[in-house]
Amino acid sequence: MITEDYVSFEIAKLLREKGFNEPCFAYYDLFHDNAGVTLKLYKKFPRNPLNKQYLNVPTLQAAMKWLRKVYNFYVEVYILKHNSNKTVEYCITIEDLNFPGSNDGFHIIPSYESYEGACDAAIRYCLENLI
């Protein structure tokens, strides 16, 4: 079954810190119980989306689109190597469109075994190193 891939809790927190405030149909809800703080991913729109208890959770593609629209970071995930045993490695290139034609605007991230893992790494890299 094909499912949507959402950003992790850590990346959702980084996105909020960097100004992400887009409406999402998925969110993390932090609530307290006897065991401490529990984290859940709900795949529906929260009743009160402005409540600080909710953390918006975009899909990987929505987060990459936001990085492109707000910060001009173009993320490209492509196949680096395809072996005969059907294993695939993905590589990431991030182009900072604020520096067109400059080598300073390119960031290449090592290979990953899944497309989703590569997207996750690219988003994390942009949030932690480029913004």
Q: What is the pLDDT of residues 68-104, one digit of tens each?
A: 999 998 888 887 766 666 667 788 888 887 776 666 6
Give me the residue spans of the domains in the chain: 9-58, 62-130
- Judging by beta carbons within 10 Å of its beta carbon (0-12, 13-18, 19+), is residue 58 exposed, middle or buried? buried
CATH architecture for segment(s) 62-130: 2-Layer Sandwich (3.30)
At residue 78, the pLDDT reads 81
Query: What are the residue ranges of helices labelled H in 18-72?
Result: 60-71
CA–CA gap between residue 125 and residue 87 (Å, rounded): 24
What pLDDT band is residue 107 in, cutting at 50, 70 and 90?
Answer: confident
Query: Is the pLDDT higher at 39 or at 5?
Result: 5
Confidence of residue 52 (pLDDT cuts 50, 70, 90): low
pLDDT, tens digit, for every residue of 25-42?
A: 788 776 655 555 455 666
Cα 72 to chain centroid distance, Å, stands at 15
Q: What percent of the chain has pLDDT over 70?
A: 70
